[in-house]
Chains A and B, each alone.
Chain A
Amino acid sequence: MESDEDEVMQRVPLSERPEWSDVTPVPQDDGPNPVVPIDYKPDFVETMDYFRAIYVADERSSRALNLTAEAISFNPGNYTVWHFRRLVLEALDIDLQVELDFIDNIAKNNSKNYQIWHHRRWVAEKLGTDAADKELEFTKKILSADAKHYHAWSHRQWVLLALGGWEDELDYCRELLEEDIFNNSAWNQRYFVITRSPLLGGLEAMRESEVSYTVEAILAHPENESPWRYLRGLYKGDTQSWVNDHQVSLLCLRVLNTKSNFVFALSTLLDLLCHGLQPSQEAKDVVAALEMSGTDEPDSDLAKSVCFILEHVDPIRANYWRWRKSKLPNAT
């Protein structure tokens, strides 16, 4: 098994352990013509055979608990084993703080496994709000090694919603974004906090300060998709405000004026125009300055010009930009 290198001692087969001598292992019945049979190793087979035996006997004992740990180490994805472990934990009324340590250990090599996170959530739920700090620490540790770890973020959001601990979360997002402004998960979490935290005023109340924050982030790296999406999200449910807010269109123009990394600025401008933005002369001038020389006559329709430029500066999506152009209303 893969964790062999961690083992100090050789594993003693279950058949040779006196404490298991009363148990008859139950073999797996693969049937006559199994498809995709797996070339199981003998210790895997033996562990699962003994697990089947205690499962069928519904034995919720200490040795059963230990056996589930062994089975999990071979096969951390096996939800039947995890489920049975939970039954045994309940039956034995085990201290669940200890169980958190067990999960910490397994998670080291298996952190991308749904079962582990589900089990962790089950334990945390039972421990209640007291577990909040520990869970936030646990996910923080995982995120420090992999800042976009999907399961860790998922668990962290569940913890905040179910157990609380919102106080430092916006700060945490800021920290992560300082480390990596391109971290989409951190932007996502930021959105989660400003919209869901019971300690903040909600999206509309937070909008102004968040727009400032986001504009700064965009200006630093206009090629970063995340803050552009975030900006749009700040106006969720209120597209008119997004169109009418001068900060948004001005931001686009500022980026366009730099003549570099302006793809998202252009596509945002296009969306604004499609939603009714009346372009300023400055906007028209900035776009005209970007158009290739020697190509078609610049279109008097700003949106058409924008689409034309996008076809050239974002060629991987050229088909899409051509289609967008074809869908524009004919009148300017």
Chain B
Amino acid sequence: MAEPELEPVEEPPSPPPSDYYSSPEFDKDRHVTFLQMMYQLLPWQYQNQEINRLTLAYFVISGLDLLSSIDRVDKDAVASWVLSFQAHPKSEDEPNDGQFYGFHGSRTSQFPGECRGVMSHNGSHLASTYCALSILKIVGYNVSSIDSEMMLTSMRNLQQPDGSILSLLQNHLFAIVLLISRDGLFLMIFTNSVHFSTTGGATYCAVASLRLMGFIGDDLLSNSATSSIVNVPLLLNWILQRQAMNGGFQGRPNKDSDTCYAFWVGATLRILGGLKFIDEKELHGFLLTCQSEVMMPLLLP
């Protein structure tokens, strides 16, 4: 299957003037220092996030990258560490054994090959695979040296008869169900698991997936473009309504704004070509109110 051409759906906004972020408000250096500290050591309170280790690494590394500070990390060390999470089949036959061969999210789901007897499947996980590949790209690792053929082939094992996709073969919890209706759906039934309720996060996952699969294209907002899959005007209206009076984005109607929705909602709008409709200044203002005043105490000697 030919890879779909991915054109940017709209021109990115021109960058703000160089002094925009060096105003007293956005303290870039403090954010970089914070991320560097996390890169070196996470406080014990993160113990219960151990299972998401790779995701935490992704946040730190992509954060540093966004702040043009990726040189603060040892890129080779990062690449080696990430590659150590890759699940490998033991033999030539195994890619066809019904398992998914991606990346583990942490050492706590990763056991030496011989000991895997308990589980019929290795514990590699779709979400951590995404994080792993993203990290590798960011640090400049040559991802073409990864056996993507095996990973993609085995990824098919995650798809269920109803079309949904498991992220982990051990359980059905993370199934992201894309319910696609010919007449478009009221409330945009983009859900996690069985729950029918719209949220910003699930909406992003669905819209991004549809875009990647080529079900929705560029230029969605022009008069002539219609989608048989998604009711774009309704979706656009709903998602834009997520910008609250305080400038931030909420995940659902009548709920509080949260910084994370700046990504989920913002990214959805970017894909749809509707980012130009938000009030950028108000959003910026809101995000800065979420900037912590307190610097974490240094944990390092």
Contact = CB atoms under 8 A, between A and B. Distances in A.
Contacts of A76: 48
B254 A80 contact: no
Nearest to A117: B173
Given A36-B53, A79-B109, A79-B171, A58 B117 contact: yes
Interface in B177-200: 183, 185-187, 192-199
Interface residues of B, number: 77
A224 B109 contact: no
B51 A184 contact: no
B223 A319 contact: no
A81 to B, nearest CB: 8
Contacts of B48: 2, 74-77
Interface residues of A, number: 71
A102 interface: no
A242 to B, nearest CB: 10
A114 B240 contact: no
Given A39-B41, A44-B47, A316-B247, A225 B253 contact: yes
Tell me if A's interface is mostly helix, strand, loop or mixed: helix
A34 B195 contact: no
Interface stretch (A151-159, A252-260, A280-288, A298-306): A151-159
A188 B187 contact: yes
Contacts, number: 189
Contact of B197 (A78, A188, A318, A323): A188
Interface string B145-178: 0000000000000000000000010111110000
B42 A37 contact: yes
A33 B75 CA distance: 11
A48 interface: yes
A79 B168 contact: yes
Given A33-B77, A48-B108, A316-B282, A39 B44 contact: yes
Contact of B240 (A41, A184, A317): A317
Interface stretch (B20-28, B90-98, B271-279, B290-298): B271-279
Given A33-B74, A56-B111, A317-B277, A40 B44 contact: yes
23 contacts: A30-B107, A33-B80, A38-B43, A39-B299, A41-B44, A44-B44, A44-B47, A48-B108, A56-B115, A81-B108, A117-B173, A118-B171, A150-B199, A153-B197, A154-B192, A158-B195, A185-B197, A232-B234, A233-B187, A317-B240, A317-B243, A319-B279, A320-B277
Given A75-B47, A233-B186, 14 more contacts: A31-B81, A35-B57, A36-B38, A38-B44, A39-B299, A41-B44, A77-B51, A78-B50, A79-B123, A83-B171, A118-B171, A150-B195, A188-B187, A320-B240
